[in-house]
Structure 1
Amino acid sequence: MMIRGPLLRVLPPGVRSFSAARCTVDERPEAPRVTQQASLYVHWPYCLRRCTYCNFNKYIPKENKDHLITKCLLQETETLLQLSGVSRITSVFFGGGTPSLAPPSTIAAILESVSKLVNLSHDAEVTIEVNPTPAGMSKLEDFCSAGVNRFSIGVQSLQDEDLKVLGRDHSSRESLQTIAEARRLCPGRVSVDMMFGRPRQTVESWEKELAELLEICDDHVSLYQLTLERGTQLFKQVHCGVASVPGDDVTADMYHSARRTLQQHGFLQYEVSNFARHNSMSGHNMSYWKGEQYIGVGPGAHGRFVPVGEGGLDREARTQTLEPDVWMREVQQSGHGTRRRTHLSHLQLLEEVLVMGMRMTKGITNKHWELFSPHMSLQEVFGASSDVQELLRNQRLILNDRGLRCSWDGLALLDSILPTLLVELEKQTFLKPH
C-alpha cells in the first residue's frame, strides 16, 4: 500500500517512525470498535511494464503464475484474518501493481474466502485499481460479477504525449472509453486518478485538462503530484537534463487551481489529494486516515492490527516480503509471508493517528482522538505550544472544541506543519506522568 498526496512528503505508516518512540505512559488506548474491525488491502504485484516514474513494489512476470499467486493470496488472507481476530471487514481494496491483470476468478475467490471467515456485508465497499487499456476495460463487467462495486482508474493524463513520457500503456481515448464503461457498471462509484507536475506541463494546460476531465468523470477524483523517485527512469532523465518538471511554485499553483475548479463543480475536498461529490468518498482510504486497523495481504503489503493469542494489546506494524517468488515460498511454508513485525508504542500509534488524520479536511475530532488517547486531549497536547499558537494566529491551523484541523490554506502546507505537531506530541507524551 502506498498513500500519495500533493505537496506532502511525509512517509506513510510503516516506512519509519517519526521519533525515538520514547513513551512513559502505559495506556491501552484502542476501544473495542477499533480492534474488532479492519479494512483489507490485497496487493497484486505484476505489471506488463514499468512506468517511468514508478518505484512501487511491482514486477514484470516471466511466466504466468496466476494460479499459484491466487492460491497464496487466499492462504495468507485466511492466516492474517485469523491472526487479527477481527470479526468484520469494512472494505476491500485490490491494488498493485496492476490488479486489473488478475483473473476475475481470483477476486471472486478472495472475497468468498473473506465472507466465510468474517462478516463482509453485502454493501461493503470493494475497490479494484484498473489500468485503462482495452484489456482492462474488457474485464470490468466480470469484476463486477466477482463482487467489485467500485473502480479506481489510473488515467494520470489526458495528453497522449505525456502518457508516452510517463511510460503508460494506454491512450487518452482508451481512458475515456474505460471511464464510460465503468460508470455504466458502477454509477457514482468510479474514481479517476490524475497526475500534475508532469514534464513540460503548465498551469494553463493543466486547467484545460481538468476542464476536459470534468466533462466525463464520475463523482470521485484523486489528484497526485508527480514526485521524482530515485532509481526510476524519469528521475534519471531529469537528473541528466533530458527532461524537466515544473518548479514548486508552479505545482503549487496547479494544486490551488485544481482545488478551486473542483469546488466550483460540486466536488468536496475531503483529503489532501481526494475530492468527491454526492457523498462518494472512498471508505477504504478513510479507514487509513482515521487510524483504523487494516490487514495487508500480498507481496510488500503493509498492515496495522492487534494480533490475538500473544498476550499483548499493542498494535503491530506488519510488512510482507517484497519479492513475489520469495513471498510465495514463505506463504507455502508458514501460511503467510510477513517479513517484519513491529510493536507500536503508544506514542508511535498517536503519531500515525496525527499524521494520517491531519490529511483530512475535517482533521481530527476530539472524540476520535480520545479513542486512542483517553488521558491526554488535543488541547492538552497542543494548546500551550508557542509554535502551534503561531500557526493558529497565521490561520494555518484550527484548534477548538471540535478538534484539530488545517485551514484551507494550511492543508496545502501540511508537509511543513506536521513536524511542528509531531515534536510537540512527543514532548507532551514524554512529559506526562503515569
Structure 2
Amino acid sequence: WWACTWGSPCHTRGGAVGVSAPCIQRGHPWRARLEPVSGVGGQRGVPGVGPGRPPTLALCPQWPYCRKHCSYCSFNKYVVPAVDEAAVRACLVREARTLLRLGQVRSVTSVFFGGGTPSLASPQTIAAVLEAAAEAAHLPAGAEVTLEANPSSASPARLAGFRAAGVNRLSVGVQSLDDAELRLLGREHTADEARAAVEAARGLFPGRTSIDLLFGLPGQSREAWARCLEAALGLCDDHLALYQLTLERGTALEARVRQGALPAPPQDLLADMYHTARAVLAAAGFRQYEVSNFARKGALSTHNLSYWRAEQYIGVGPGAHGRFVPWGEGSCQREARVQTPDPDTWMKEVQSHGHGTRRRAALSPLEQLEELLALGLRTDEGVTQQRWGRFSPQLPLRAVFGVPGEAMALQQQGWLLLDGRGLRCTPEGLAVLDSLLPGLLCQLQRCWARTAGTGGRDTGAAGGRGTEAAGGQSTEARGGRGPE
C-alpha cells in the first residue's frame, strides 16, 4: 500500500509480498499521494522534533541520469545524449542552499547521493554539493557521506576522485554475480566488472563499502541464489542490502513476465530465498538491522537509519523527496515535499525560484505516527518508547498497542513484542511485516480517533495516505536497483 512502489535511484529491488513471503519492501515508499491534508486532533507544535527548532537533518541529493534503462527499473531516471553537468551542478547547489536555509538547518547529519546513477556525476559536482551543505548549515567532518555507484562507472581513479570530494561510504549496485542474470536485468556490467569495482571500493573505503543484491528474478532457482550468496560473502565488506525484485508495471521485465515469456517466481520460493539469506548472513556474523539490510562490525548506515527512525531529511534534485519543517516560511509543521521530476523543468524552476518543489503537504500528527510505525517496525530496534514519545507525548505507545486488539493478538502469536524498550517485530514477524502492518495501522487510527474525538478519517485498512518516507530516492534504504 505505501512501499509497494518503492524504487531506488537506479532500479527496483525490494517489493511488498504476501503473507507467506518475506517483507522485502523498500525503505522509503516514495510514491505516496500528496493530496492536501488537514490536521487531526489539534495538536500544537511539531510532533517528532520537540518544542525547539530541529538543529539537524539528513540531505539526499539526486543525480537523475543513467546510461541505459535496466529492464526492471521504474525510477525517476533519464537517458539522454548529453548532460550539461555545469548547469545541473549549479542547480543542485542552489536548491540545497535554498532548502537548508528554508529549514533553518544548523547541521547536516548525513548525505546520501542517489539517482539515477550518481557515479556518473563528476567528483567536482559531488564536492560542490557538499561544500554548499557545509556553507548553508554545517557538515561535521565525521558525517556519513554515501554515494551510490554502478560497477560500470566505478573505476579506481573515479572512486578516488569521489573520496577526495568528501565521500566516505560507497554503495555498489552489484545486483547479481551471474552474467546471465545481469543480462536479464539489463545491467551494463559483467560479474567480473562487479567484483573489480567492489574490490577497488573496499581498498578506498575499507569497512564502508556496501553491495546490493537482487533475488527472486524470473527463472532464478534456489540453488542459483545460494551460489550468489556464497560468492557475495567472499566479496563483500561489512554491509549488504538484499532486495526481492519487484516487477513494476511499465518495465520491460514485467511485460515479459505478464506476456508469459518469463515465469513469475512462486511466493514460497521467494520466502525460502529470503530465509536462506537471513540464515547464511547470520552465520557469517551479520546483524539484520532492517528488513533488507545486514551489517557486521557496527557498519550500519546512519543515513538510512534516519529514514527508518522518521527523522527529518531534505531531498535535492529532480524527483527527490523530503520530510522537514520549513521554519523559514514561518511554519512549524512538518511537510512532505517532492521536487519536480523532469530535470529540464526542475532546472528552470530552480533558476527562477531557488528550488523546484513541485508538491508539498503538511503532515497531520496521525500521519506522522503512521509513518513512524510503518518505518520503525522495519528495523530490529522497532519503535522505541522514547521516539514514540517525541511524536506522541500525550498518547503513550502502550495505550495504543498494549490493549486488546490486533497488536495484542500478534504478540500472542509470536510476531510482535511490546515492552519497556518499545514495540518491535520478532525475527519471525520481521519476515512478514507486510501482513502485520494493516491491522496495526487500523488499531492506531481507531485509538487516535477515540482519543482526539475527531472521528478519525477514512483511511482504509492500509493506513491513510501512506508514507513516502524516505527522501530522495536512495537505493539502499528503499530497495531498488542499483547502487545500494
- TM-score under structure 1 length normalisation: 0.96
| 1:98, distance to aligned residue in structure 2 (A) | 0.3
CA contact (8 A) 2:24 2:292 kept: no
Q: Structure 1 residue runs of 4+, over 6 Å off?
A: 17-22
Matched, 1:26 2:37: no
Give the distance between the partners of 1:369 and 1:427, measured in 2 at CA: 17
- Partner amino acid, structure 1, of 2:33: R
Match among 375, 378, 387 for residue 368 of structure 1: 387
Corresponding position of 1:204: 223
Give the distance between the partners of 2:185 and 2:43, measured in 1 at CA: 48
Give the distance between the partners of 1:111 and 1:118, measured in 2 at CA: 10
Give the distance between the partners of 2:346 and 2:98, measured in 1 at CA: 14
Give the distance between the partners of 1:354 and 1:53, measured in 2 at CA: 29
| 1:20, distance to aligned residue in structure 2 (A) | 7.9
- Partner amino acid, structure 1, of 2:110: S
CA contact (8 A) 1:14 1:318 kept: no
Q: Secondary structure at the match of 2:177?
A: coil
- Partner amino acid, structure 1, of 2:117: T
Superposed CA offset, 1:6-25 (max 9, x none): 52458725613899877224
Give the distance between the partners of 2:315 and 2:125, measured in 1 at CA: 16
User: What value does the CA root-mean-square deviation take over the aligned residues?
Assistant: 1.9
Corresponding position of 2:482: none
CA contact (8 A) 2:155 2:200 kept: no
Matched, 1:332 2:386: no
| 1:389, distance to aligned residue in structure 2 (A) | 1.5
Give the distance between the partners of 1:48 and 1:169, measured in 2 at CA: 9
Matched, 1:181 2:208: no
Give the distance between the partners of 1:8 and 1:135, measured in 2 at CA: 27
Give the distance between the partners of 1:112 and 1:54, measured in 2 at CA: 31
| 1:363, distance to aligned residue in structure 2 (A) | 0.4
Match among 73, 89, 102 for residue 83 of structure 1: 102
Matched, 1:56 2:84: no
Greater mean alpha carbon deviation, residues 181-190 or residues 28-37: 28-37
Residues 114 and 32 (structure 1), Cα distance of their counterparts in 2 relative to 1, 3 Å cut: farther
| 1:136, distance to aligned residue in structure 2 (A) | 4.6
Matched, 1:296 2:280: no
Corresponding position of 1:271: 290
| 1:208, distance to aligned residue in structure 2 (A) | 1.4
| 1:33, distance to aligned residue in structure 2 (A) | 7.6
Greater mean alpha carbon deviation, residues 237-246 or residues 135-144: 135-144
Corresponding position of 1:318: 337
Corresponding position of 1:114: 133
Superposed CA offset, 1:87-107 (max 9, x none): 010000000000000011000
Match among 41, 57, 62 for residue 38 of structure 1: 57
CA contact (8 A) 1:397 1:405 kept: yes
CA contact (8 A) 1:23 1:346 kept: yes
CA contact (8 A) 1:40 1:92 kept: yes
Superposed CA offset, 1:317-359 (max 9, x none): 0000000001011111101000001000001111111111010
CA contact (8 A) 1:101 1:136 kept: no
Superposed CA offset, 1:251-292 (max 9, x none): 110000000000000000000000000000001000000000
Which protein, 1 or 2, shows the higher relative CO under an 8 Å CA cutoff with sep ≥ 6? 2
Matched, 1:409 2:452: no
Corresponding position of 1:142: 161
Give the distance between the partners of 2:152 and 2:91, measured in 1 at CA: 27
Superposed CA offset, 1:349-396 (max 9, x none): 111111110100110110111111111111101111322221111100
CA contact (8 A) 2:101 2:137 kept: no
Residues 2 and 313 (structure 1), Cα distance of their counterparts in 2 relative to 1, 3 Å cut: farther
| 1:27, distance to aligned residue in structure 2 (A) | 3.9
Greater mean alpha carbon deviation, residues 381-390 or residues 340-349: 381-390
Give the distance between the partners of 2:431 and 2:42, measured in 1 at CA: 33
CA contact (8 A) 2:214 2:245 kept: yes
CA contact (8 A) 1:21 1:348 kept: no
Residues 20 and 79 (structure 1), Cα distance of their counterparts in 2 relative to 1, 3 Å cut: closer
Residues 44 and 282 (structure 1), Cα distance of their counterparts in 2 relative to 1, 3 Å cut: same
Corresponding position of 2:121: 102
CA contact (8 A) 1:17 1:348 kept: no
CA contact (8 A) 2:58 2:314 kept: yes
Give the distance between the partners of 1:76 and 1:27, measured in 2 at CA: 29
Match among 24, 29, 46 for residue 12 of structure 1: 29
Give the distance between the partners of 1:335 and 1:367, measured in 2 at CA: 37
Give the distance between the partners of 1:155 and 1:282, measured in 2 at CA: 18
Greater mean alpha carbon deviation, residues 308-317 or residues 107-116: 308-317
Give the distance between the partners of 1:125 and 1:377, measured in 2 at CA: 33
| 1:61, distance to aligned residue in structure 2 (A) | 1.5
Match among 243, 260, 284 for residue 279 of structure 2: 260
CA contact (8 A) 1:269 1:276 kept: yes
Question: Unaligned stretches of 5+ in structure 2?
Answer: 1-5, 16-22, 454-484
Superposed CA offset, 1:43-84 (max 9, x none): 000000010000000000232211110111011001000111
Matched, 1:342 2:348: no
Q: Secondary structure at the match of 1:309?
A: helix
Corresponding position of 2:418: 399
Residues 33 and 287 (structure 1), Cα distance of their counterparts in 2 relative to 1, 3 Å cut: farther
| 1:138, distance to aligned residue in structure 2 (A) | 3.8
Residues 140 and 375 (structure 1), Cα distance of their counterparts in 2 relative to 1, 3 Å cut: same
Give the distance between the partners of 1:19 and 1:78, measured in 2 at CA: 26
Q: Secondary structure at the match of 2:435?
A: helix
